[in-house]
Amino acid sequence: MELGWWLVMAVAVFGARALLTVPLIVWGLVLAVAALDPIGAQSNAVFQSRLSANSGDSDGAAAKDNFRPLAATVGRTDSTYVEGGITILDEHRPPITQNVPPPQRGPALRICVTGGAGFIGSHLVDKLMSMEEGHTVIVVDNLFTGSKENLAQWFGNPRFEFIRHDVTFPLNLEVDQIYHLACPASPVHYKWNPVKTLKTSFLGTMQMLGLAKRVKARFLLASTSEIYGDPLVHPQAESYWGNVNTLGVRSCYDEGKRAAETLTMDYHRQEGVEIRIARIFNTYGPRMSLSDGRVVSNFVGQAIRGEKLTVQGNGQQSRSFCYVSDMVDGLIKLMNTEGIDGPVNIGNPNEFSILELSAIIRDVVNKNVEIDFVPQTQDDPKQRQPDISRAKAWLGWEPKIQVAEGIKKMATDFRTRIRG
Ligand SMILES: NC(=O)c1ccc[n+]([C@@H]2O[C@H](COP(=O)([O-])OP(=O)(O)OC[C@H]3O[C@@H](n4cnc5c(N)ncnc54)[C@H](O)[C@@H]3O)[C@@H](O)[C@H]2O)c1
């Protein structure tokens, strides 16, 4: 029977007044139970806030509540504040105390380096730890391509901490600056699990931006020249939007970094996060992986082992190579220069064809090795050279180390690791 008929029959049997008292009695019972159980309300609110913090909504208000004293989270809803069973309207809500310390602006900072166990990250950590300001450095790395050996010199130092953590999951830290480098960077590694590469680029950047927003830290994204794809403009200035294949085998990296840049800018525009975007061009130096398929490490390793240098295609494709100490100086300058509001290319503009590079490496490392021409990989860009006018003007930065000098330093490290 329809609800209307039930109501008519109930009014006929009990009278209208009796019928109205039933919901009032039920409502009174609900209020009484809530007043007797403040702990339940409290644990539910805390549970809800943790749930949102762990669900990837790292910038949500609920995630922010993780930093507040327990009392501030008791029984909160969006429009009311419930205390001891009494509902207080928004305008009477007591001020929320945050237990995040105000950001420190030097001289000694708390600095997080994601991907700090990797090639560039570990050199960045060396530099930050050695600076006279006495910074504290927290490395966050899942050791996918990085290694604790790269940081061995810092374990045991009270200003250094290592956290083994995958950046695609939430993380709460109290820091002043975040250098976000965590991401596989060489084609061999990023093509190995392209879905994970995209997740690391996007979700990892989202988690770290959420953290930066919560603790008001300055955030630097390690982006890449790969966002220019196979460029139609040469050299590449920051104003160039790029020419990227969205479907190719390298797209997981290129498009992942492009999305990471977009997210970084949107956190800046929408949430007011202080951000820096470094478009890093090919970098080389000690601690590069011996077998990551990147051209400089390939050639140096092959030359030391006395193997043929494998040049892809006809070797006329060009690259420019930045020594790692120059790169680290550029990143630190970018992080600490005020008034930056756009991406900055960091790289060495000296351009070489791959064939020219192989000749330099033969000269410096082993004159007896021969060249072997092999097929070119899919979507390999033909030209890559940074326009660093912006880095010069905004940061007063330009690279200092010439390729032959850098290759010599790198070969010393490779010899030790290859020959033991
Ligand atoms: N080396 C270059 O020439 C170059 C050029 C352009 C951009 N970059 C960028 O610079 C950054 C560092 O590059 P690199 O050459 O040092 O590479 P690398 O592989 O040596 O270092 C990357 C680090 O990130 C860590 N990592 C990867 N996925 C992670 C995850 N999900 N959670 C936590 N840690 C994770 C790895 O373990 C490693 O320690 C990368 O973001 C890369 O895209 C490098």
pLDDT at 182 over 90: yes
Ligand 1, closest atom to CA 146?
A: 39
pLDDT-derived band at 376, boundaries 50, 70, 90: confident
Residue 305 CA: distances (Å) to CA of 302, 369, 415:
5, 9, 9
Q: Which domains can be identified in the chain, with CATH numbers?
A: 3-92 (no CATH), 110-419 (3.40.50.720)
Lowest mean pLDDT among 26-35, 55-64, 215-224, 335-344: 55-64
- Give the residue with greater pLDDT, 30 vs 289: 289
Q: Which residues of 289-308 are buried (b: 16+ CB within 10 A; e: fewer)?
A: beebebbbbbbbbbbbeeee
**Pocket lining for ligand 1, CB < 6 angstroms:** 114-115, 117-121, 141-146, 166-168, 181-185, 200, 204, 222, 224, 280, 282-283
Confidence of residue 63 (pLDDT cuts 50, 70, 90): very low
CA of 304 to the centre of ligand 1 (A): 25
Cα 113 to Cα 359: distance, rounded to the nearest angstrom? 36
Greater pLDDT, 213 or 79 = 213
Query: Residue 116 is which amino acid?
Result: G
| pLDDT higher than 50, residue 265 | yes
Q: Which of 113, 119, 226 to mutate to test the pocket of ligand 1 (most atoms within 8 A of CB)?
A: 119
Has 253 been annotated as catalytic? Answer: yes
Helices (H) and strands (E) in the chain, counts: 15, 15
Place of tokens 């190995």: 192
Q: How far is the CA of 151 from the centre of ligand 1 (A)?
A: 15
What six digits make up the tokens of 32? 């009484």
Q: Specify the ligand 1 atom closest to the Cα of 117.
A: 39
What residue's CA is closest to ligand 1, atom 12? 181
Instruction: Look at residue 32 and tell me whether its pLDDT is greater than 90.
Output: no
At 146 the pLDDT is: 97
Percent of the chain scoring above 90 in pLDDT: 68
Q: Which residues contact 289 (CB under 8 A, 6 or more apart)?
A: 119, 145, 186, 189, 297
The pLDDT, as a whole number, for residue 293 is 83
Q: Six-digit token pair at 89?
A: 């309207």
Is the entire prediction scored with pTM above 0.95?
no
Tell me the per-residue pLDDT of 212-252, one tens digit each, with 9 for 90 and over: 999 999 999 999 999 999 899 999 999 999 999 999 999 99
Question: How does pLDDT run across 146-175, given as a tens digit for each residue?
Answer: 999 999 999 999 999 999 999 999 999 999
Whole-number mean pLDDT of the chain? Answer: 83
The pair of structure tokens assigned to 3 is: 């609800």
Query: Which of these ranges, 46-60, 348-362, 365-379, has the smallest mean pLDDT?
Result: 46-60
The pLDDT value given to residue 27: 64
Q: Are strands 86-89 and 80-83 parallel, antiparallel or unpaired?
A: antiparallel
| Vertex 254 angle, CA 248 and 256, to 5° | 110
DSSP state of 15: -
- pLDDT in the model for residue 66: 33
The 10s digit of each residue's pLDDT in 187-213 is 899 999 999 999 999 999 999 999 999
pLDDT of residue 68: 31
For residue 342, give the nearest of 283, 271, 393, 281 by alpha carbon: 393
Catalytic residue among 81, 190, 228, 253: 253
Q: What SS3 string covers 370-403?
A: CEEEECCCCCCCCCCCECCHHHHHHHCCCCCCCH
The residue with greater pLDDT, 32 or 166, is 166
Of the listed ranges 27-31, 37-41, 149-153, 214-218, the least confidently predicted one is 37-41
Residue 18 Cα, ligand 1 centroid: separation in angstroms? 72
Atom of ligand 1 nearest to the CA of 223: 7
pLDDT score of 420: 77
Closest CA to 172 of 65, 332, 45: 65
- CB burial of residue 320 (10 Å; 0-12, 13-18, 19+): buried
pLDDT in tens, 93-116: 555 445 555 555 568 999 999 999
Residue 29: band (very low, low, confident or very high) from pLDDT cuts 50, 70, 90: low
